Amino acid sequence: MDTARLARHLFTTRRGVKRAFPATCMDAIRAAIERAEACHRGEIRFVIEAVLEPAQLMRAMTPRARALELFCKLRVWDTPDNSGVLIYVLFADRAIEIIADRGIHARAGQASWDCIAGAMQKAFASGEFEAGALSGIAGVAGELRRHMPIDGPSPDELPNEVTLL
């Protein structure tokens, strides 16, 4: 077991997450998602999880595995065009994972998502959490616009609010 990782998860608090992502930041993220979704057929979900549960840590669950689990649990895959995208932040690990449904992933490719997550990671490392989150949303929206442009009514199929776990 990685004791440094365990310590990060034991000592990271929701209060720390809320300091990094205050209410004004959460509102800005929600508004950015709403604006972005008006320009493409995709759906974006943004999830911030403070820490993993002890059992998840004991199983050495990776941020990617947890993101995939939440992608399913939150039904991000449940869109007509298979165009849902989850932006997942595991705060204790300072990890960012972008999981895209098969319809958009086949067109954009993993390298696009990795590049966007890398830019977010860089901003987060310098304490620019809001800027990093907004740049991530803009990057995902750009891929969705490029590969799944709006061509008629685009109903809002998934919640735009940030999910804080």
Mean pLDDT of 8-29: 96
Give pLDDT, residue 80.
Answer: 84
Q: Is the pLDDT of residue 2 over 90?
A: no
Quick one: pLDDT at residue 1?
Answer: 67
Going by pLDDT thresholds of 50, 70 and 90, the confidence category of residue 153 is confident
Percentage above 90 pLDDT, the chain: 89
pLDDT of residue 155: 77
Task: Please tell me the distance from the alpha carbon of residue 51 to that of residue 94, in angstroms, as a whole number.
Answer: 10
Average per-residue pLDDT in the chain? 95
Q: What is the pLDDT of residues 38-82, one digit of tens each?
A: 999 999 999 999 999 999 999 999 999 999 999 999 999 988 889
pLDDT given at position 158: 87
CA 41 from centroid of its chain's CA atoms: 18
Instruction: Note the CATH architecture for domain 3-164.
Output: Roll (3.10)
pLDDT at 96: 98
Closest to 62 in 3D by CA, of 84, 86, 95:
95
Q: What is the mean pLDDT of residues 101-113?
A: 95
The mean pLDDT of 79-106, rounded to a whole number, is 95
| Domain segments of the chain as ranges | 3-164
Query: Got the DSSP string for 22-74?
Result: -HHHHHHHHHHHHHHHTTBS-EEEEEEES---HHHHHTT--HHHHHHHHHHHT
In terms of pLDDT, which residue wins out, 153 or 56?
A: 56
